[in-house]
Amino acid sequence: MHKKLVFLVKLAAMPTALVTENRTFFVDETARPAGRLTLAGTIKESAGVAGKPMRVFGQFALVLMVRGRGSYADARGTKREINPGDAILVLPELPHVYGAHPAKSRGGIWDELYLCFDGPVFDLWRHEGLLDDSQLVRSVNDWPAMFTRLCAFCEAPRPTNAHEHSKQLRDLLTILDDIFPARDKPNAEPLWLSRARAVLESNLGQPLGGQQAARAAQMNYESFRRSWKAHTGTTPQKYRDLKRIEAAKSLLRTATMTQGQIARSLGWRDEAHLSRRFRELTGMSVREWKTKNSTSK
């Protein structure tokens, strides 16, 4: 059977109008040490995220598409068709776009449910493989049931104390694990190291460093610094700067931000500071890296 006909047959058998209106389940602007769910809702006939420039969202998000057809692309080079029942995991630092195909989706729209979240606990989950970021678009088995489950999760009463908040985070991890199953990590590193790494890899535009990582590891700074270098071969600050350089490379590939804008978004004062640190850590200038990167494609 022709692929287009197969799709139309499947579409006809699917539940329709799961999203009947634009709706906000909740908005949470309260700062929490471990992490928080910041925003959730549904969008009927969404246009998605525009293509130029690619968006850097700054937090995690789960997007479940329930009607229409579209595509997803990011600065890693990922390009995927999106169909009903596909889930997208948005990463905080990764430039990306997604949206409907005008010719295939009733004029270029789709319906979606979204759930946004941020904080050190999610960075730790990601590092430990509990939140698998190797494949950012997944097809969800029995996605109408997952849609109902996500709606029930988002409509549940908001946490009022630390115990309820912890339970909410555990429930979210269970949902995410069903969609983006955890990777096996046979040689898991010490918990203190994972906690510190999560701090050093998060909020790259903010002035975080070894002192905050040491507190997360529950160590005094000098003990932490020596232990960190023994395990990683580098200093906490250099490790964080390497992560900032990786993020800068992703942004440079999109060619939509100036070097000054990239520098400021990653915590450097200006383009000169980015250029100097880039050369120190990569052995080449930003211009040389961009030339090599473009000619290697």
110 & 242 share domain: no
The answer to whether position 194 is within a domain reads no
- Same structural domain, 71 and 145: yes
Q: What values do phi and psi take at 260, rounded to 5?
A: -65, -40
Q: Could you write out the DSSP letters of every residue in 183-247?
A: PP-TTPPPHHHHHHHHHHTS-TTS---HHHHHHHHTS-HHHHHHHHHHHHSS-HHHHHHHHHHHH
Mean pLDDT of 79-104: 86
Q: Are residues 289 and 157 in the same domain?
A: no
Computed from CA positions of residues 167, 170, 176, 177, in that sequence, does the dihedral angle turn out positive or negative? Answer: negative
Co-location of 166 and 230 in the same domain: no
Task: Identify whether residues 229 and 171 lie together within a single domain.
Answer: no
Quick one: 31 and 156 in the same domain?
Answer: yes
The DSSP output letter for 54 is P
Which of the residue ranges 50-64, 144-158, 171-185, 263-277 would you say has the lowest mean pLDDT? Answer: 171-185
Give the number of domains in the chain: 2
Contact between residue 71 and residue 136 where contact means Cβ atoms under 8 Å apart: no
User: Do 131 and 242 reside in the same domain of the chain?
Assistant: no
| Domain-embedded: residue 132 | yes
Same domain, 154 and 225: no
Task: Name residue 58's amino acid.
Answer: G
Q: Would you place residue 26 in the very low, low, confident or very high pLDDT band (cuts 50, 70, 90)?
A: very high
Here the tokens at position 194 are 């994972």
pLDDT above 60: residue 232: yes
For residue 59, tell me if it sits in a domain: yes
Between 263 and 32, name the one with better pLDDT.
263
275, amino acid identity: S
Instruction: Give tens-digit pLDDT for 106-155.
Output: 556 788 999 999 988 888 888 777 788 888 999 998 899 999 999 999 99
**Whether 38 contacts 117, CB under 8 Å:** yes
**What confidence tens digit (pLDDT) does each residue in 155-187 have?**
999 998 888 888 898 899 889 988 988 765 555
| Cα–Cα separations (whole angstroms), residue 286 to 56, 251, 275 | 20, 12, 6
Decide which of 116, 145, 179 is a domain's last residue.
Answer: 179
Last residue of a domain, one of 179, 212, 228: 179
Amino acid at 229: K
In the predicted model, what is the mean pLDDT of residues 189-200? 83
Residue 194 has a pLDDT of 83
Domain boundary among 179, 214, 246: 179
- Residue 198 located in a structural domain: no
pLDDT tens-digit readout, 8-25: 444 444 445 576 788 999
User: Quick check: is 184 in a domain?
Assistant: no
In a domain, 262, yes or no: yes
Any idea what the CATH number is for the domain that residue 260 is in? 1.10.10.60
Residue 185 lies in a domain: no
| % the chain with pLDDT above 70 | 86
Q: Residue 113, class by beta-carbon neighbours within 10 Å (0-12 exposed, 13-18 middle, 19+ buried)? A: buried
- Same domain membership, residue 144 and residue 35: yes
Between 182 and 236, the higher pLDDT residue: 236
Q: Are residues 166 and 220 in the same domain?
A: no
Read off the pTM.
0.61
Asked if the model's pLDDT at residue 6 lies above 50, the reply is no
- Let me know whether 208 and 175 are in one domain: no
CATH of the domain at 28: 2.60.120.280
List strands edge to edge, sheet with 70-74: 79-82, 70-74, 96-100
Packing angle, helices 191-200 and 221-232, rounded to 10 = 90
Average pLDDT, the chain: 83
Looking at the fold, whether 137 and 37 belong to one and the same domain comes out as yes
Domain containing 252 equals 204-295
In this predicted structure, what is the pLDDT of residue 102? 59
Residue 209 lies in a domain: yes
Interval 27-36: pLDDT, tens: 988 877 788 8
